[in-house]
Amino acid sequence: MLKFSDFLLCSAVLCLCPCRISLKKGLSIRDQMRAAGVLDDFLKHIKYDSVKKYQPSQGSVVREPIANHLDSSYFGEISIGEPPQKFLVLFDTGSSNLWVPSMDCKSPACFNHAKFQPSASATFTPRGQSYNVSYGSGSVTIVLGSDTLRIQSITVTQQELGLSQEEPTQPFYFAAFDGILGMAFPSLAVGGMATALGGMLEQNQLAEPVFSFYFSRQPTYDYGGELLLGGVDPQLFQGDITWAPVTQRLYWQVALEEVAIGQSATGWCSQGCQAIVDTGTFLLTVPQEYIENILEALGAQETSYGYAVDCSDTQSMPQLTFGIGGARLALPPSAYVLNSNGYCTLAIEATYLPSQDGQPLWILGNVFLKEFYTVFDMANNRVGFAPSA
Ligand SMILES: *[C@@H]1O[C@H](CO)[C@@H](O)[C@H](O)[C@H]1NC(C)=O
């Protein structure tokens, strides 16, 4: 789920970070950040670079199982309040607000989902302000409060969160999750709301300022993948991690150096391309201007049910290769073709988000992330990719 950014132009403050942190022996990163006076800054704006080596702190590495529904969205369980009220949330690197449905919400989408009851929580504090959070698919009205957030053994007290008052039917009525836990940069949070990750860092809940996602290629409801909070799991990828710096600290956005179809470089990124790494978008999202070329290169037809291809051609279709961080990350046809009862379509859609700086904008959704284990490094503002196990 990609949040529409109000900041379509990159400001110098968001894009440039001159600060450097030198590590002192024996102190945890967090201690050093605190000593350097940067942690508070980080929590609001994520403005530092160059912490090269992690050291253990008192936080933990937490494994959160991710469920999958009909090979579309991936989500996991959290709780809010005291005693805990449980919710399924989309862990979304394409937005930054945390919200769940509230008892006051009268939208159809709220009737068939878990709803938070503030009066049943001993630790809830209302905040009053209300905001519209818009996603690619529609806008959710939330009112702010704060309460205890739990994910496995992680506990964040007085976490700021939104309670939905109104939700659009599309896509939320049909969603297998109740709410969204945004994991993009604080500067993308509507209303300047504190992010859940900011809360975890501030309250020393993570061993390292990093989280990583594994999405199963053959997901089921019982096992769709894993989110690791505070660490990286070497069991879930092969080979080395390729790192790419974040180019704009709103989304987890990186430079895309080239796109190749089979052996042919397309040249589409000769003037630069940008790619948003979005766990809340299912498909691979292609800039509108290249859709026709891709359909032609892959032999796909536009139909009422999507970009159709002949299932029997799948074996011979070319790889789509993405140049990121100096590496070539290839998607085989088994990754970008969806087979639904013998009808094959491309797991590709045209982008709905405007480019921020004139460079073509791609969105690397679950279809891409099933092939590549992804590490989100909040200390170094970079994204790591390695072939999925
Ligand atoms: C949210 O959007 C609705 C419909 O556009 C509008 O009436 C309402 O005032 C907005 N609320 C906030 C808090 O911005």
Which tens digit of pLDDT belongs to each residue from 273-308? 999 999 999 999 999 999 999 999 999 999 998 999
Query: Whole domain around residue 242: which residue ranges?
Result: 234-387
Q: Is 158 found in the same domain as 32?
A: yes
Q: Is 288 found in the same domain as 145?
A: no
Q: Is 376 found in the same domain as 308?
A: yes
Distance 132 CA to ligand 1 centre (A): 6
Quote the pLDDT of residue 222: 85
Helix H, strand E, coil C: the string for 3-60 is ECCCCCCCCHHHHCCCCCCCCCCCCCHHHHHHHCCCHHHHHHHCCCCCCCCCCCCCCE
Would 268 be classed as within a structural domain?
A: yes
For the chain, the domain total comes to: 2
Would 6 be classed as within a structural domain?
A: no
Last residue within a domain, chosen from 212, 229, 246: 229
Ligand 1 in reach of 131 Cβ (< 6 A): yes
Q: Is 265 found in the same domain as 146?
A: no
Quote the pLDDT of residue 18: 23
CB neighbour list of residue 156: distance below 8 Å, 6 or more residues apart: 148, 149, 150, 196, 199, 200, 203, 205
Quote the pLDDT of residue 73: 83
Please say if 92 is a catalytic residue. yes
CATH number at residue 214: 2.40.70.10
Q: Is 171 found in the same domain as 267?
A: no
Looking from the CA of residue 141, the nearest atom of ligand 1 is 1
Distance 131 CA to ligand 1 centre (A): 7
- Beta-bridge partner residues of 63: 228
Residue 286 half-sphere exposure, CB side, CA atoms within 13 Å? 20
pTM recorded for the entire structure: 0.86
Quote the pLDDT of residue 4: 62
- State the DSSP H helix or E strand holding residue 258, giving kind and residue range, or none if neither: strand 258-261
What are the backbone dihedrals phi and psi of residue 11, each rounded to the nearest 5 degrees, phi first?
Answer: -90, 155
Q: Is 332 found in the same domain as 202?
A: no
- Please identify every stretch of the chain with a pLDDT value under 50, giving residue numbers as ranges: 6-56
Quote the pLDDT of residue 5: 54
- Would you state the structure tokens that stand for residue 66, as one six-digit string? 């991710």
Q: Is 296 found in the same domain as 203?
A: no
Q: Is 360 found in the same domain as 254?
A: yes
- In the block, which residue shows the tokens 């052996």? 263
